[in-house]
Amino acid sequence: MADVEASVRDLVNRDRDCTERAQAQMDLRRKIDLLIGEWKASGGGGVLPTSATGCVFVR
C-alpha cells in the first residue's frame, strides 16, 4: 500500500492525474478494513501493527 500512496503523492506533486492510483489506494483501504472486520468477527483481539511500522492502522 505504501507504494500506491507514494505513486499518488508523486502524481499530485507533478500536477498529473492521479484518479486511477487514488482509486486503487481507496480500494486497498476498503479491503484492509474488510479483512480487519473479518479478523475481529472471528475472535481476533490482539494488537495489530500500526502505521508507524508501515503496516495497518486500526481505528
Q: pLDDT by residue (tens digit) across 17-53?
A: 999 999 999 999 999 889 888 988 888 777 776 665 5
Give the start-to-end residue ranges of the domains of the chain: 2-53
pLDDT of residue 58: 46
For the stretch 29-35, contacts whose Cβ atoms lie closer than 8 Å and that sit 24 or more positions apart, written own/partner, are 29/1, 32/1, 32/56
| pTM strictly above 0.85 | no
pLDDT of residue 23: 94
